[in-house]
Chain A
Amino acid sequence: SAVISQKPSRDICQRGTSLTIQCQVDSQVTMMFWYRQQPGQSLTLIATANQGSEATYESGFVIDKFPISRPNLTFSTLTVSNMSPEDSSIYLCSVVRQKPESGANVLTFGAGSRLTVL
C-alpha cells in the first residue's frame, strides 16, 4: 500500500498565523486529497489537489483560507491561513491506491498533522 508522509506531525500555533503542511507520497498519483478531522468529529474533505491545475474545493472551504500547492505527482502542501482556535484539527492527506490482490481502489491516509491553535 502507499506510504504517505506528512510534516509536521503536530504543532501548536498562535492565532493569526499560517502554517503549511507537507504531504509526500512514495509513488506518483494523479490526485491527492486533503481532509480535516475536527476534535471529536468525523472527517471532512477539504479539497482535491490535481497536478498542473488548481485544487477543487468542497462546499464550505475556500482557497484563500486553505491554499494548496501540487508541484509534482508525489507532493502537495496545504496551508491553513490566518488561523483561529476553530482551525484546531487533524489534517490528513490521502490518495487512491489499487490493492494488487483484488484490484480494488481504496483511499489511503497519512498519519495526519495535529494542529492546535491558541
Chain B
Amino acid sequence: GDSVTQMEGPVTLSEEAFLTINCTYTATGYPSLFWYVQYPGEGLQLLLKATKADDKGSNKGFEATYRKETTSFHLEKGSVQVSDSAVYFCALSAVTSNTGKLIFGQGTTLQVKP
C-alpha cells in the first residue's frame, strides 16, 4: 500500500543553518504531496503542497519539489529560525479532493537553537 518515509529526528540546528528533511514515498498513480507542521501545543497546519511532478511548493521560506523519478519530496529552508522549532510531517493523498485520507510519515522533530 501507499506509504511515506521521513528521516528520523530530532534534527537539531543552530539559527540560520540550512535545513533539509528527507521524505520519500511509495504510491500507485500520481499522489498529491504535502508538508504539515505542528508547533508545540497547536494543531497541524498545512505548510506547503505539490500536486504533480516537478511542482515546487513554497511557504514561509520553506520549499519542497515533487520528484517523481526519485519518489521524493524533501523539505528545505535556507536559514532556519528558533520559531521554526516544530514537528514536520510529510504526507500524500492519492485520492480525490473530496476525501480526507492522507498517509502521513512518522514526523521529524526540528529543534533550532539560538
Contact = CB atoms under 8 A, between A and B. Distances in A.
Interface residues on B, range: 20 to 34
Interface in B96-114: 97-102, 104-107
Contact of B100 (A33, A42, A112): A33
Interface stretch (A12-20, A70-78, A80-88, A102-110): A102-110
Contacts, number: 57
A96 B98 contact: yes
Given A33-B100, A96-B97, A107-B100, A42 B46 contact: no
A63 interface: no
Interface string B70-86: 00000000000000000
A41 interface: yes
Given A42-B89, A92-B43, A31 B100 contact: yes
Given A92-B43, A92-B44, A109-B43, A48 B105 contact: no
B46 A106 contact: yes
Interface string A19-47: 00000000000110100000001111100
Contacts of A96: 97-100
A3 B45 CA distance: 12
A117 interface: no
B69 interface: no
Interface string A41-62: 1111100100000000010000
B51 A104 contact: yes
17 contacts: A31-B98, A33-B100, A33-B101, A41-B106, A41-B107, A42-B105, A43-B44, A43-B89, A43-B104, A48-B99, A94-B100, A96-B100, A104-B51, A106-B46, A106-B49, A107-B34, A111-B43
Interface of B: 4, 34, 36, 41-46, 49, 51, 89, 93, 97-102, 104-107
Interface of A: 4, 30-31, 33, 41-45, 48, 58, 92, 94-96, 104-112
Q: Which 7 pairs show the lowest CB-CB distances between chains A and B?
A: A33-B100, A105-B97, A111-B43, A109-B44, A42-B104, A43-B104, A109-B43
